[in-house]
Amino acid sequence: MSMADWRLQGVEFVSCNCDWGCPCQFSALPSQGFCQAVVGMQVEHGHYNETRLDDLRWISLFAWPGPIHEGNGSCQVFVDDQASPAQREGLLKILSGQDTDPGATVFQVFASTVTQMHEPQFVPIEMHIDLPQRQAHFSIPGVLEAIGEPIRNPVSGAPQSIQLRLPDGFEFTEAEMASGSYQTQGAIRIASQNSHGHFARLHFTGRGVVR
């Protein structure tokens, strides 16, 4: 069966429970031995076959009992309630790693480590991502709050700009490191304060990251 034609471009903010910088980005074990994360993206341009995905928002919650590569993870996806049925179907297929070469995107890699996929929710999503300023705010009433902000110098309090380059990465090729905090309710209950965060501009197809 041929693979669907799709593309997704936009900005993301991610926060997890690891220390700033996140050891996982360096193929090391997570700071606390397990992984939890809030991932969100503002889609600027995209399509799934003939269905446009422009201007949609989505957030995923993840929880793994150990390092991500050991699996047994849980996930729940929240999609902008303004999405049409066709947009919901296309976006969920992309986020679940379908119509994607094995190992080509973070969606496909993470999907391979998840054993409990909770029902997706279609809800109002408040999302603000300012990549240059390293500022973000996510809100779903009764479900989650997440913020992103610059890492600050511990002496002066001045915001710091720190970049990570992964030329062969399956999520991004370059990201701005940040500090993140989140608290969630519902099927996946996770929380963290002033832990790892990063901002990145994403561009994917079913073949992988567009470089």
pLDDT digits (tens, 9 = 90+) for 4-13: 999 999 999 9
pLDDT digits (tens, 9 = 90+) for 35-54: 999 999 999 999 999 999 99
Give the tokens for residue 131. Answer: 């990549």
Sketch the domain layout of the chain as residue ranges: 6-209
Cα gap 39→58, rounded to integer Å: 8
The pLDDT score that the predictor gives to residue 2 is 80
Task: Please say whether the structural domain 6-209 has been given the CATH code 2.40.400.
Answer: yes
CA angle 30, 74, 46 (to 5 degrees): 95
Cα gap 137→128, rounded to integer Å: 5
The pLDDT score that the predictor gives to residue 196 is 98
Segment holding 61, helix H or strand E: strand 57-64
- What are the contacts of 150-159 at 24+ separation with CB within 8 A? 150/178, 150/179, 151/20, 151/177, 151/178, 151/179, 152/179, 159/134
pLDDT (average), residues 79-83: 96
In the chain, what's the furthest Cα-to-Cα distance?
A: 58
At 76, the pLDDT band (50, 70, 90 cuts) reads: very high
pLDDT digits (tens, 9 = 90+) for 15-32: 999 999 999 999 999 999
Residue-wise DSSP of 96-116: TTTTS-TTSSHHHHHHTTEEE
DSSP state of 53: -
Contact 126, 146 (CB under 8 A): no
Residues 6+ apart with CB under 8 A from 83: 56, 91, 122
Give the tokens for residue 61. Answer: 């919650």
pLDDT digits (tens, 9 = 90+) for 112-166: 999 999 999 999 999 999 999 999 999 999 999 999 999 999 999 999 999 999 9
At 1, the pLDDT band (50, 70, 90 cuts) reads: low
